[in-house]
Amino acid sequence: MAKGEKQIDSKEDQMVVFQLTEQTYGIDIDAVFEIIRMEAITRVPRTPHFVEGVINLRGKIIPVIDLCKRFNLPLAERTSSSRIIIVDVGGNTIGMIVDGVSEVLRVPLDSIEPPPPMIHGIDAAYLRGIAILDGRLVILLNLDKVLYEHEQSELQRFGVETA
């Protein structure tokens, strides 16, 4: 990854940009640990529906979630461009399946606009904002919320109900 190129500049953020059902999303590069190709995922029974399973990342067991399922978006076929973005959020290393990773973009902070209440079926609560870059709409995700907000409760609920 182009992590090394990161520049300290308060005026812009670097975003890893990826595709999910024809839409372009961005997440803060600081959260991204690495990006790997799709690999065999071991399903873990009795976990929330968006948890795809676990993978072996160099000897560590990492949970992987499907972002489409997370947002209840129509499921895309896994293709050769599908990737797992490994992020480090809230002290946990988590993999997120996306349709493809295109680039790292510098996003000037003043180009980020507050999100509309709902965009492409995703609640604004999970969004940091939207930005228009090179004529494209990039939806910026708030990973903390995406991974923890609703999931924590769902994860816990699962634990309680079935234990």
Q: What is the DSSP string of 122-161?
A: EEGGGEEEEEEETTEEEEEE-HHIIIIIHHHHHHHHHHHH
Joined tokens for residue 112: 């980020």
Q: What are phi and psi of 122, to 5 degrees?
A: -110, 130
Contact flag: residue 150 with other proteins (CB under 8 A): no
Cβ-based nearer residue to other proteins, 2 or 61: 61
Please tell me the count of residues contacting other proteins according to CB under 8 A: 28
d(CA 65, CA 49): 9
Contact flag: residue 61 with other proteins (CB under 8 A): yes
Cβ-based nearer residue to other proteins, 6 or 69: 69
Applying CB under 8 A, among 3, 72, 156, 157 the residue interacting with other proteins is: 156
Contact flag: residue 40 with other proteins (CB under 8 A): yes
Contact flag: residue 149 with other proteins (CB under 8 A): no
Question: Which part of the chain contacts other proteins (CB under 8 A), choosing from 11-19, 59-67, 106-114, 125-133?
Answer: 59-67
Residues of 40-49 as b/e, b for ≥16 C-beta within 10 angstroms? ebeeeeebbe
Which residues, numbered 13-32, are part of the site for other proteins (CB under 8 A)?
Answer: none
* Listed residue (32, 108, 99) closest to 67, CA to CA: 99
Contact flag: residue 146 with other proteins (CB under 8 A): no
Contact flag: residue 75 with other proteins (CB under 8 A): no
The answer to whether residues 79 and 99 touch, using CB atoms and an 8 Å cutoff, is yes
Which residues contribute to the site for other proteins (CB under 8 A)?
Answer: 40, 42-47, 51, 53-56, 58-63, 91-94, 147, 155-156, 159, 162-163
